[in-house]
Amino acid sequence: MKILVTGSADGLGQLAAKQLIKDGHKVVLHARNTARGEQALKALPGAANLLTADLADIEETKALAEQANAFGVFDAVIHNAGVYQTGAQQLLHVNTLAPYILTALMHRPARLIYLSSGMHLSGRPEWTDKPSYSDTKLHILMLAKALARKWPEVYANAVDPGWVPTKMGGAGAPDDLELGYQTQVWLATSNDPGALVSGQYFHHQKSARYNKSADDILLQDHLLAECARLTGVKL
Ligand SMILES: NC(=O)c1ccc[n+]([C@@H]2O[C@H](COP(=O)([O-])OP(=O)(O)OC[C@H]3O[C@@H](n4cnc5c(N)ncnc54)[C@H](OP(=O)(O)O)[C@@H]3O)[C@@H](O)[C@H]2O)c1
């Protein structure tokens, strides 16, 4: 299968990409810039290719979608890149708008996987231009659910990887790092009936408790409208 993993220079994205390459898949990596891209390719020499774009930059993200489309249709895209302890604008751009833009502008893959977080449970479902990390992780679950509704031919799901010891999670994170990326790999590639579903929120390959406001169709559509307003890109 041909799979794009955003933010695969480090952390869970790199680990998922490594597993996918090991399993024989054609993996296109993504890094924020050329220097990080070189490091990504050095860490994963079996990768098929590398794309670069700073996801905090709307125009660079649009250009990334165009570059990705040069590879044809991906079987799966893992929207993994994310930021945590930073300002509202960076959170909004990297965690919410970038996956929205890539989803809207890339050729439609068979499977879409979005990295959410258990912290989405305290996210605010009403739109704000100044979101917290939790808000953006609720946005991404709402996006997955909106896509499951609007694009029935696609499997679109969100994942809570657990609190795991990456650069973001910190060295003391208590959860299992391997389990932190296996669900994304499974959703991207497995023909297990459990993975061939849409609009679900997973933790360790099982449906998990989520913020029910993510099911609200009006809130989903409002989110899509705000993303379109801020990016100039319609789904
Ligand atoms: N770790 C956890 O405990 C945890 C818990 C819940 C959810 N998550 C989610 O899991 C995903 C992966 O997290 P992680 O723990 O692997 O974090 P990480 O180690 O900090 O890795 C994040 C990745 O995103 C990339 N990235 C960040 N900002 C970017 C930008 N502006 N442009 C392009 N790439 C950018 C990073 O690139 P650089 O390496 O160049 O910075 C890195 O490759 C995130 O969406 C996160 O919210 C993680």
Q: Please give the C-alpha separations between residue 35 and each of 32, 38, 77, 213, in angstroms, as whole numbers.
A: 8, 5, 23, 40
Q: What distance in Å separates the CA atoms of residue 3 and residue 129, rounded to the nearest whole number?
A: 31
Q: For ligand 1, say whether the CB of 12 is within 6 Å of any of its atoms.
A: yes
pLDDT > 90 in the chain, percent: 100
pTM given for the model: 0.99
Q: Across residues 97-108, what is the average pLDDT?
A: 98
- Respond yes or no: is residue 114 known to be catalytic: no
> Across the chain, what does the average pLDDT equal?
98
- The pLDDT assigned to 74 comes to 98
Pull the structure tokens for residue 73: 């249709």
Cβ proximity of 120 and 134 under 8 Å:
yes
Q: For ligand 1, say whether the CB of 33 is within 6 Å of any of its atoms.
A: no
Q: Across residues 35-52, what is the average pLDDT?
A: 98
- pLDDT tens sequence across 159-182: 999 999 999 999 999 999 999 999
What domain range is 226 assigned to? 2-231
Q: Which helix (H) or strand (E) holds 55?
A: none
DSSP 198: S
Q: Which helix (H) or strand (E) holds 5?
A: strand 2-5
State the total domains in the chain.
1
CB atoms within 10 A of CB 70: 8
Q: For ligand 1, say whether the CB of 115 is within 6 Å of any of its atoms.
A: yes
Phi, psi of 141 (to 5 degrees): -65, -40
- The pLDDT assigned to 90 comes to 98
Q: Please give the C-alpha separations between residue 131 and each of 62, 151, 212, in angstroms, as whole numbers.
A: 22, 26, 19
Pick the catalytic residue from 62, 137, 181, 201: 137
- The pLDDT assigned to 16 comes to 99
Q: Across residues 75-104, what is the average pLDDT?
A: 98
- pLDDT tens sequence across 49-79: 999 999 999 999 999 999 999 999 999 999 9
Protein residue whose Cα sits closest to atom 10 of ligand 1: 115
* Residue 49: closest CA among 71, 66, 34, 32: 71
Sign (positive/negative) of CA torsion 111, 37, 94, 178?
A: positive
DSSP 107: P
Q: Across residues 122-146, what is the average pLDDT?
A: 97
* Residue 112: closest CA among 135, 70, 66, 80: 80
Q: For ligand 1, say whether the CB of 109 is within 6 Å of any of its atoms.
A: no
Q: Across residues 121-137, what is the average pLDDT?
A: 96
State which of 4, 5, 6, 10 you would mutate to test the pocket of ligand 1, scoring each by most atoms of that ligand within 8 A of its C-beta: 10
- The pLDDT assigned to 94 comes to 98
Buried-exposed string 28-58: b where 16+ CB fall within 10 A, e elsewhere:
bbbbbeeebbeebbeebeebebbbbbbbbeb
Tell me the pLDDT band of 86, cut-offs 50, 70 and 90: very high
CATH number of the domain within which 61 lies = 3.40.50.720
- pLDDT tens sequence across 182-214: 999 999 999 999 999 999 999 999 999 999 999
Pick the catalytic residue from 100, 133, 201, 210: 133
Q: Which residues pair with 28 in a beta bridge?
A: 4, 49
- Respond yes or no: is residue 2 known to be catalytic: no
Q: What distance in Å separates the CA atoms of residue 98 and residue 185, rounded to the nearest whole number?
A: 21
- The pLDDT assigned to 178 comes to 98
Cβ proximity of 106 and 78 under 8 Å:
no
